[in-house]
Amino acid sequence: MNIINPYRFAVGLPPRDDVRVSNRNFTSASSGSQTIDWSDALGVPRFAGWKAFDSSITTSWLSSAGLPDWVSIDFGSDQVVYSIMYDVRNDGSGAQSPKNFVVQSSDDNSNWTTRLTVTNATRTNGQLNFNLDDPAIARYWRLYCTAVNSNENRVGLAVVEYYS
């Protein structure tokens, strides 16, 4: 039995279809009409933010010490987003996995609306999936991390994907 989410229809969102809307073929900060931006990175360009969007678990974005840190995507046009998936950088201990973070959307890359708040996320070296509290249509999306699962104070993400 399919359960219909009335929220989607109230705000004019299309049905969820679990299609990835973020590109997976980044070889620099842009891929097609999509562009990645990030707060900082340790040892740029080796750990640049776009490495979380190149679909390889052997490369990653690794922020420098000091939180908060974020990675954002400009889709180039409005995209509806229902969920986000990330795979933590495999450092052997999950030390750089986000613990407290928000997923936000923006129409202008300046004013952000929180769509998901996560506290005490699992310490892992694996993949985690999160459904947004309030799916939305926006051009810009970001994962904004305020705490990680260690005292390293740096975020390490091998893969980030947004889904419609």
Virtual torsion, Cα 74, 154, 44, 70, nearest 10 deg: 10
Entry field: residues in the chain: 164
Is residue 126 within 8 Å of 144, Cβ to Cβ? Answer: no
Residue-wise pLDDT tens digits, 26-61: 999 999 999 999 999 998 788 999 999 998 888 999
End-to-end CA distance of the chain: 21
Amino acid at 158: A
Topology given in CATH for the domain delimited by 19-163: Jelly Rolls (2.60.120)
**CA gap 98, 91 in Å, rounded:** 13
- pTM of the full structure: 0.89
| Extents of the domains making up the chain | 19-163
Residue-wise pLDDT tens digits, 61-79: 999 988 999 999 999 999 9
Using the structure block, give the residue that is written with the tokens 């104070």: 153
Is residue 64 within 8 Å of 42, Cβ to Cβ? Answer: yes
